Amino acid sequence: MEENVKEKVPIWEKVTLTKEEAAEYSHIGLNKLEELLKMPGCKFVLYVGKKKLIKRKEFEKYLADNIEI
């Protein structure tokens, strides 16, 4: 067994998700996610430089609190 093999963290245990991970996790398309991330005051976006990450728990709460996006 190799020592350098990283164990993959399950999506439901990650603090932040990439747009691709969030799309897979939520079954929401990348274009719609990008639109949501551009909303003024979006509470689930985290900027790391120019990169946008999605705060998983806040994203889940947003989805639970809305019936339509």
Q: Global pTM?
A: 0.84
- What band does 7 get if pLDDT is binned at 50, 70 and 90? confident
DSSP string, the chain: --TTPPPPPPGGG-SEE-HHHHHHHHT--HHHHHHHHTSTT-TTEEEETTEEEEEHHHHHHHHHH-S--
The domains found in the chain, sorted by start residue, are 14-65 (3.90.105.50)
Q: Write out pLDDT tens, residues 21-59.
A: 999 999 999 999 999 999 999 999 999 999 999 999 999
